[in-house]
Amino acid sequence: MFLKKIKFFDANADEFKSSINKNLIQKNGKFIQNKEQDTVTFKYLSPTYTSIETNYFTKAQIIETQKTEITEQLTSGNSFRSYHYGNLIIPEDRNLIAVNDDSKATSSGRITAKFNFVSEQYEKFTSNISERKLPCIYLESDPAQTQTLFDLKFFPRVIPKARHFYDFNYILRPRYVLPDDDRFRNVLFGQNFSMSPGNAEREQYPFYNRIRFNYQTTNSFKNTLKEYNFFEQFIEDYIAKGTYDSKTFNTEVTENQRSSIERSTYLIYDILEWIQRSDFIMDETDKVIFEPNLKTKSRYKYYLDKLAFVGKLRKFCKEKMPDVEDILNNKPVETETLFYKIDKQIDGSPRIIQSFWIPADDGFVDLIDTQIKYGVKYRYTVTAYVLAFGCNYRVSNKFNTGNKTSIKFEMRPSFQMIEIPNIYSNICRVIQPPQPVPTVKFVNEKNAQDYLRIYLNLTLNSNNEPLQVIRPAESQQEILREEYDRLEERDRFVYNNERALYEIYRTDFQPKSFLQLADHKLTEIRNSFPSTGVSHKDFVVPFKKYYYVFRSVNFHGLVSNPTPIYEVELTKDADETFLSAKAVGFLQEETSQATRRFMRFMQAIPASQHTIFEGDANGMFDENGDPLQTLRGVALNKLTLGLAQRPIWGKKFKFRITSTTTGKKLDVNIMVNLIKKKTMENSK
């Protein structure tokens, strides 16, 4: 199982637990229970509850044990210690998990970009304004749930569709209303808002980013907030008027079956104090709240709901506050993830563009973000807000009765919402995939004596062929594509309906590779009106062979693979012309000839690479690299001839001669030797 988990422990030390070997110890990057034998065995009596001035309950519980020297040393009356030991399963990137889909065993996350179609007018429009002024899919696509937000709509009285974006300047641009972008600094999704209708419209937008992850949590406190319509008020109070404290925790992070321990400081928010100090006023100056049933209550209704809500919290104090046995045995408290915050920023920049606040009650988050620009690398960072039903506890008294020692614990509820930042973060960038190889048609127009017509069009398919470039620098587009498709699940070349641009390359020689075409681009051609096809009139010389290669360039400058090499020749006779066009491969030079016809005589001569003599390569230097001063003695024996990697000298070859008339065969075996004739001078 691929599991990523965070455990958090209060960093305060507890001398009482240490004295009875109930403290947690560190081992192999984990906190584990002390394995030493318990020095004291306790009997846990039933707890009692007392209402205090805050209207909540405190818990008192007595534990008993045999009187010993150890129990005599145990102290009472110590200060309160906090106990909020909990854990959180957090998303791990999808391509790192050894499963193919989300499951209850793992929490997976995935942040992807999607390019749908080209809208030149919309992209030009987005280049001059900030992201928060771009249309939000949830505001524009679901009138039933956004009636209370009608004044914020970017395109009033129209639901944007793909056909509208194709002609953006004439349909949507005149309807565009400049929003108050400060309000889109925070986008808060309420308890009754469904993202599904908006998500279903995502293919109607030119492009979008998608943030998805799943999780597990309970919903008892969230359900209570929703019962009294306090959920949006609670998040709004936290954003606008949150009274935060910070607390140090020891955290244990387990990832890919390995654990490490860190000391972290988290922001905490006291739930029990929130309901007491909330003014129940919604400040929407820096936020948009998507909640179809958001209504303002009367002060009297708020007061009644507040009393009922406090009654629920009193019940939680009895049901969820840990008892002494839980504390001494280091049992995790009950936790509940309340909501998530997703911060959006340009990768590498510390400035947060926008924050999305999403309830954690559906088991998954599926957010579509259309307030983005093409080609910008965005980073999304997820923060979890986890409620820990903990307590503050102390030993309030210790007394002896006969041979028994009784220890009284006092526990006060401490329900803290803990902000756990950066539980998941990843980047994405929208990139238009390059077009497939275009289709090509050569046409010989009637009576054309010195030209031919070429028709080009986009191909209506997709493929995943490797990229072939004409210029080495074009390989950089593969880096962009890999960033766009990090999971390698999309086709590399994808058709998009756009005003196509084509490159035409022409040579008068058959190229050996596409790289030879870099300096032979004939022209670029694109229609002035929207069209996927073009035609080109190319002037040629009759009876001369030309070699053509074509490719398309998408709106964002990414190139398709080249077409095959076309060998084209225009010929003519007295009264008409003929056009020959065929696909040929790269020029393959012949380096050997298996057969050769001859009449009466045959001569075999070594090729030049076997007979060239270059002093530095053929033994004219000694062992120290210095030029030889003489060839006397054995120096001549070290000389070689030729530069071939496989010299022919000293090898045997067979020539089979076949008669073209009788078919008789004759084999001639030849040994090729390099003869070095020594003179009297060489022999000295």
Mean pLDDT, residues 575-597: 84
Paired sense of beta strands 186-189 and 288-290, if any? parallel
Which residues, including other chains, have CB under 8 Å from residue 169's CB and lie 6 or more apart?
121, 125
Encode pLDDT of 346-364 as tens digits: 999 999 999 999 999 888 9
Confirm whether pTM is higher than 0.85: no
pLDDT at 99: 45
Class of domain 439-584: mainly beta
Cα gap 362→341, rounded to integer Å: 15
Cα gap 427→298, rounded to integer Å: 45
* Ranges of CATH 2.60.40 domains, the chain: 439-584
Best-predicted range by mean pLDDT (258-272, 588-602, 624-638): 258-272
Q: C-alpha distances in angstroms, 633 versus 236, 393, 574, 619?
A: 99, 101, 76, 14
Cα gap 512→521, rounded to integer Å: 16
Tell me which residue of 424, 461, 422 sits closest to 439, measured CA to CA. Answer: 461
3-class secondary structure, 137? helix
Contacts 24+ apart (CB under 8 A), 606-613: 606/642, 606/648, 606/672, 607/644, 609/642, 609/643, 609/644, 610/641, 610/642, 610/644, 610/647, 610/648, 610/649, 611/641, 611/642, 612/641, 612/642, 612/643, 613/641, 613/642
Encode pLDDT of 11-36 as tens digits: 887 888 877 777 887 777 787 777 66
Quick one: how many helices (H) and strands (E) in the chain?
14, 32
Does residue 257 have a pLDDT over 90?
Answer: no
Torsion of CA 385, 386, 389, 390, to 10 degrees: -90
The answer to whether the CB of 194 falls within 8 A of the CB of 295 is no
Cα gap 261→93, rounded to integer Å: 21
Encode pLDDT of 151-179 as tens digits: 899 999 899 999 999 999 999 999 999 98
Q: Quote helix, strand, coil % in the chain, to nearest 5.
A: 20, 35, 45
Does residue 618 have a pLDDT over 60?
Answer: no
pLDDT at 40: 77
